[in-house]
Structure formats: C-alpha cells, structure tokens
Amino acid sequence: MNDPNRIHTLSAVDVVLRTAIVALALGTASIHFRLGGPLFTLNGLGYVAGATAMIIPLTIVRRHRWLVRIGLAAFTVTTIVAWAVQGPFYPVAYLAKAIEVSLITLLAIDFARRDGNPIDRIRDELRSFLGRPQGRATHRP
C-alpha cells in the first residue's frame, strides 16, 4: 500500500498538465478582473488562489493537493452555474466559460492521474481521520 503522506515527484506530463491548469485559472481570473465590480474581482481572486494552491510547494498543500483540485473544480462549476443563472451573455463570457470547462476537464484528468477515484480518495481520507485502516486505492499528491 502506498503511503498517502509520501510526496512523489512530478513527471513531464504532470508538469505540462499542472502548467495548463494554472494558465487556464489565471486566464479566467484575468477576464474576471477586467470586468470590474466586487463580484468579478472576488471571483478573479478565487481563481488566483486556486492557481497558487496548485503549485505552491508547502508540504501540507502538496499532501492535500487532491482537495485543492476538487475545490478549484467546484469553484469553477459554481462560477459557470452562477453565470448561467444571471448572465451576462456576451462573447467574452463565452470565452471565459470555454476556459472554465477546459479547466474542469484538466483538473479531472490531473485528479485521475495523481489520485485515482475521487470517491475512494475521500473515503480513505475520512477513514484516516477517524483512525481506521485505509483501502487499496493508491494516492499521489
């Protein structure tokens, strides 16, 4: 069984994938910052925080990068749903949504490559928190 606390090195594919995730998050952040207003600014800051969390070398963040991936994907889905409910529906918004859908796709691929099945990962983390033995799933930060 792999030690979930062990930090693994990144392959070349992982580096490219992580770079693309950060670039997409910063791209949509840039669009939101340019729209102005507190809601768009806060949304942009959320994407900057997510991009930073994807690459920051702090041990605790590296150990729980799976949670960062889920959080950034959930934040992105929330952004898309909020846009679908309230608009505005103009070309730059559609560009932002295309970037965000691409971001979610790459986060899912990165999660699958590094952490496996999200249900197994969450279950194992809950078991670990409760002091129970973990399952067979392999995990890498």
* Residue 87 confidence class, pLDDT cut points 50, 70, 90: confident
Structure-token pair, residue 81? 């749903």
Question: What's the pLDDT tens digit per position in 14-58?
Answer: 999 999 999 999 999 999 999 989 999 999 999 999 999 999 988
CB 20 within 8 A of CB 116: no
Question: Do the domain assignments include residue 7?
Answer: no
Question: Do the domain assignments include residue 2?
Answer: no
Question: Do the domain assignments include residue 140?
Answer: no
* Total domain count, the chain: 1
CB 99 within 8 A of CB 28: yes
Question: Do the domain assignments include residue 103?
Answer: yes
Question: Do the domain assignments include residue 66?
Answer: yes
Q: Spell out the residues 6+ positions from residue 107 whose beta carbon is closer than 8 angstroms to its own.
A: 21, 69, 72, 73, 76
For residue 94, the enclosing domain spans 12-130
